[in-house]
Chains A and B, each alone.
Chain A
Amino acid sequence: MKRVQFEHSPIPYLFVAPQLLIIAIFFLWPAGQAVYQSFMLEDAFGLSSQFVWFRNYSDTIFNSSWLHAAWFTAIFSTLVTLLSLGFALLLAVKANEVIRGASTYKTLLMWAYAIAPPVAGLMGNLMFNPLIGDLYHFMNSFGYDFDHKLHEVDAGFVVILISVWKQVSVNFIFFLSGLQGIPKSVTEAATMDCKSPTRRFWTITFPLLAPTTFFLMVTNITYAFFETFGIIDTTTQGAPGGATTTLVYKVFQDGFRGADIGGSSAQSVVLMLVVLVLTVIQFRFIERKVHY
């Protein structure tokens, strides 16, 4: 088959050039730097560095604190994703049923979206402050000795709570528009075919929301992995004893606080690979079950 060739004009390249430039400067170049640095070991003063093959990697991955961070990241991301999706879906389903005052309700639910993660973290920090924090006192009023500065589980609870709260609003908007995209007559036909609302939800509504859910799952995992950095940095800063340190936070700590550029770079390269594998899994295995 002969392919039709049109005269090429340079103008399209000119239009995409700024975007390519941004990608190159802010993504490709730093990523390349990270890969390069991950094979180097710097001296204590940063004056010289030497090529050490995979030593940074082996030091990193076989390190108990890294393994702990990886484990925490797995639990943290799973919980944040599941909880923020779950709550958002519940709220969206309820909001979709509201007729009176619907727009006020939706606007109120949207507000949290406008808050930047570090600000959300700061607010959470205040709410869980042992001196003035209302939530701190509330948790303690049940007789349970709540202290996120000391207990690992409590600290995890705080960062998960804030991360979920921050993310629910975004998910809510997507779920709500997804729900409103389901034709009314399909819902009505289901009403006539199936008596139980719960069963109707899982057999009709939820499968029709699958594309939205899949999209949100991908973005939420990314959020839990990377964007929650700001929340962790403003609340626990990985404390107590690195219990709430996620992989991204550890990259930052080791590289910028610990000045271990090589080790930190090796970690970020590993993180990049983890996310790559995760993305492939999502699109290969989960997207298959999505009906568009």
Chain B
Amino acid sequence: MAGVELKGVRKVYPNGAEAIRGVDMQIADGELVVFVGPSGCGKSTLLRMVAGLETITEGEISIGGRVINDVSPSDRDVAMVFQNYALYPHMTVRGNMSYGLKNRKIPKDKIRQIVEEAAKTLRIYDYLDRQPNELSGGQRQRVAMGRAIVRNPKVFLFDEPLSNLDAKLRVQMRIEIKRLQRRMNVTSIYVTHDQTEAMTLADRLAVINEGRVEQMGAPMELYSNPKTLFVASFIGAPQMNLIPVRFDGDALSDGVSRFPGFSDLPMDADLVLGVRPDILSITADGQLDMRVDLVEQHGGENLIYGTIVGSDEGAAHGLEICLKAGQKMLPDVEDTLQLGFDPTKAFVFRKDTGERLV
């Protein structure tokens, strides 16, 4: 049982590329933290640095109070689940799960007991003597998890473990991982680029962009109180609508449409108005006109996609926008809808720094 601490961690590759630009983070004992970000943001690199598969250029990583910068991966007391499972193809499921224990000189009958227990938990007991290539994707995923569990590590590391599974299985495994992590109460770091996975799994979420942690916090905290434009646009599906505007003293304006209800904003800067699809509503006195392109029926709700129509001079003209509406709302394509929103629920960001103002 141990937390993980990262202090001023940086990673610079020999060719000068800076993958991690100073990360400070504290992960409490038993907590599940998800690193989320677009591909190439450094989230996997950071995880691999904790695992010991990448060297740490600068800073300190400690697990349970012990600095592990120079500790070999097998001695860090961490277990990792890889994206493509990374099972040993020449060993049976049992062999795969026992391998790490054998190398730790644990007695044979003890290994047998641990492995069989873990296999029962993961419902792969019947496959213990099969080869990995005889298993389905979901079963291989379970074996990979089993291999991690039997080690009884201080920290679990998951590197996009579900991205090779089909959508249905992914949801199922996601729930299982969460349950297992709850039950075992082991500190875990989970890397994903899928924001739904991130939102549903995480105790806390770290949004990573260009090697930095943009914001860290509980999923709902990040959703309802994003600090930057990046976090706001990354968290939430469908994505937040972003409208380029300027402040003219008493309202935001894209040059043609005006959005009142805002005050104390800089008048000399380009701003971005962020409106989530679910706070947009269809009203007769709305500030935006949208021409409908496409309606996606999700069962309980409909997502209506379209473009903003207005005068050609407006900066928002032609911008794609999305609105979440009830299942009864079924406009025809090419219909024009008038949309409005509650300004107290909208966000305003500076365009240049991404900093949130409202």
Contact = CB atoms under 8 A, between A and B. Distances in A.
Contacts of A185: 82-84, 86
A234 B151 CA distance: 60
A191 B78 CA distance: 12
Contacts of B83: 185
B205 interface: no
Contact of A192 (B87, B90, B100): B100
B80 A192 contact: yes
Given A193-B99, A195-B103, A188 B90 contact: no
Contacts of A210: 90
Contacts of A204: 88
Contact of B99 (A188, A194, A195, A196): A194
A110 B82 CA distance: 35
Interface in B262-288: none
B79 interface: yes
B137 to A, nearest CB: 15
**Chain A residues touching B, majority SS:** helix
A208 B80 CA distance: 21
Interface stretch (B69-77, B166-174, B183-191, B251-259): B69-77
Given A191-B53, A199-B103, A291 B74 contact: no
Contacts of B90: 207-208, 210, 291
Contacts of B88: 186, 189-190, 204
Given A186-B88, A207-B90, A208-B89, A193 B103 contact: yes
A279 interface: no
A188 B82 contact: yes
Given A189-B80, A193-B74, A195-B72, A183 B86 contact: yes
A195 B74 contact: yes
B74 to A, nearest CB: 4
A192 B89 contact: no
Contacts of B147: 189, 193
B61 interface: no
A188 B89 contact: no
A291 B89 contact: yes
Contacts of A219: none
A203 interface: yes
A238 B89 CA distance: 47
Nearest to A187: B86
A194 B82 contact: no
B56 interface: no
A57 B87 CA distance: 55
Residue of B74, B79, B83, B84 contacting most chain A CB atoms (<10 Å): B74
B51 interface: yes
Contacts of B87: 186, 189
Nearest to A189: B86
A192 B79 contact: yes
B108 to A, nearest CB: 16
Interface in B84-137: 84, 86-90, 99-100, 103
Contacts of B84: 183, 185
18 contacts: A185-B86, A186-B86, A189-B80, A189-B87, A191-B52, A191-B53, A192-B51, A192-B52, A192-B79, A192-B100, A194-B99, A194-B103, A195-B74, A195-B75, A204-B88, A207-B90, A208-B90, A291-B89
Q: Report the 3 A-B pairs with minimum CB-CB distance, sorted nearest first.
A: A193-B100, A185-B86, A189-B86
